[in-house]
Amino acid sequence: MEKVTFDSVQVGQALPSLSHTVSQETFWKNAVASFDYNPVHCDPEWVATAQPFGIPQTVAHGMMTMSFMVSVAANWAFPAMLKITRMQSKFVRPVPAGTTVTCTGVISEKHVISPGKNFVVLELKAENQNNEILGLCKTTVVFPD
């Protein structure tokens, strides 16, 4: 991957996107990975009646949807030694099993402070197969130069 410098990046630049189709097994594995065994993600029987989100299906961990979006940023930032310093997310729709989550990102702001403190803001987004927004994430990425 070519070197990414603060001068070279442009507002409006799109980051490579990614896609994952999630299943109940994905939710179980993420529960183990995060220690979040909340039944809304793990227990189809319980959720059928308890329905915290008003739907009878289990849903993805919000933190997993956020992780998918942030992976778009990390894929871009890590090889270039850029630093992800802040992430602010919003979860817009519940994500049931069977959803294909596509995450995209765009550079939305360029903050010119001083070398070592310059940063960009990325607007990341997760959508389902019907192009409905599942979540949004605003991420700050600091450049070392």
Judged by beta carbon, residue 14 or residue 21, the one nearer other proteins is 21
Please state, in angstroms and rounded to a whole number, the distance separating the CA atoms of residues 46 and 58. Answer: 9
**Considering the complex, what minimum distance in angstroms separates the CB of residue 49 from other proteins?**
5
Residue 102: count other Cβ atoms within 10 Å of its Cβ: 19
Residue placing its CB nearer to other proteins in the complex, 61 or 125: 61
CA pair distance 14, 10, nearest whole angstrom: 9
31 touches 57 (CB < 8 A): no
Nearest partner of 80 among 16, 143, 10, judged by Cα = 143
Q: Which residues would be at the binding site for other proteins (CB under 8 A)? A: 20, 26, 28-40, 42-43, 45-46, 49-54, 61-64, 66-68, 70-71, 73-75, 78-79, 81, 83-91, 135-136
| Comparison of 73 and 107: residue with beta carbon closer to other proteins | 73
Q: How far is the CB of 138 from other proteins (least distance, A)?
A: 10
Q: Residue 15 Cβ, how far from other proteins at the closest point, in Å?
A: 14
User: Nearest distance from residue 112's CB to other proteins, in Å?
Assistant: 21
In 3D space, the residue among 116, 106, 114 whose CA is nearest the CA of residue 83 turns out to be 116
Of residues 84 and 106, the one with the C-beta less far from other proteins = 84
Rg (CA), the chain: 17
